Structure 1
Amino acid sequence: MTGRQGGSDSSWPLGRLLREAREDAGLSQTAAAQRARISRAQWQNLEKGTGSGGKPVRPKPNTVTSAAEAVGLDPQHALELAGLDPSNYDPARPGRPTASLAEARDLLAQVTERQLQAVIDLLHAFLDTRPTSSPTTAEPYRRGSTLSDAEQQHNSGRTPE
């Protein structure tokens, strides 16, 4: 299936469902689009069912599933409403993020200040390539020195002194 014709609520039921779910969640179009990792214009087009020039939208399956997940809808149902094949949706397929920013935001809103600081420290440890004052098990990887001195010399073509 490759989409649908027209742009009214009856021919584009996904738009009505997305709008209702977004409003029920208390989200603006901008906030919903950010959660879905799409532009606000894309979100608006999904809701109204038409794109530039009044042409019917023909969203990609990943756009539909991202939009559905952003407002708590079943992605397979959203794909059906968009006229796309829901059997291709596999949330665990390789390369697909298993966590979303929306999920992280929701979880972070529930932690204590101390827990939040621990999460922030952990994220810094993942992202920060500068050595810290207290070495961790990741330090050798950060410095690129997981090989012994002899192995590094051998790989660089130098001979030990």
Structure 2
Amino acid sequence: MSAIARPAGHRSLSRKDVVVYVAGVIAGLIATHAVIAFADDGRITVRSTLLLAVVACFIAGFYLVRRPAIRQRRYAYYFLHVMAFLLVNGSYWLHAGILSLDGRADVVAATWSGALYAMATFWGIGLLIHTLGAFLSKGFEDVDV
């Protein structure tokens, strides 16, 4: 595997960085889902959407602040993108599933369609494009798994 040139003074993305990233996303999602469950009676509202926007800002901020470190690891942006997609969309589908099992499918049908279908579909299309780009990128064939 060819090494990526590391500029002086820059360190690559570490496991600790990834743990901070995942913990931050999970903490934001817990807060978002707690508001949906307890303050908004299981409904997606402007308030819960703004909280999800805070999670998105955390993700974008993490990418910006740790950009030099992320760039030192091959496919790090892709890995972080997949993690965010799975955590956010998975948590929304899990929450909707729990509501449905609790007999509140009417609430899911009334307010969750954008959060479930649109977010997963459009983000999924972006992730598919990112996956194809990662697969077609130079150096993919040199990565040992």
State the TM-score, normalized to the length of structure 1.
0.24
State the TM-score, normalized to the length of structure 2.
0.25
More helix by share: 2
Name the larger-Rg structure: 1
Higher relative contact order, chain-length normalized (CA < 8 Å, sep 6+): 2
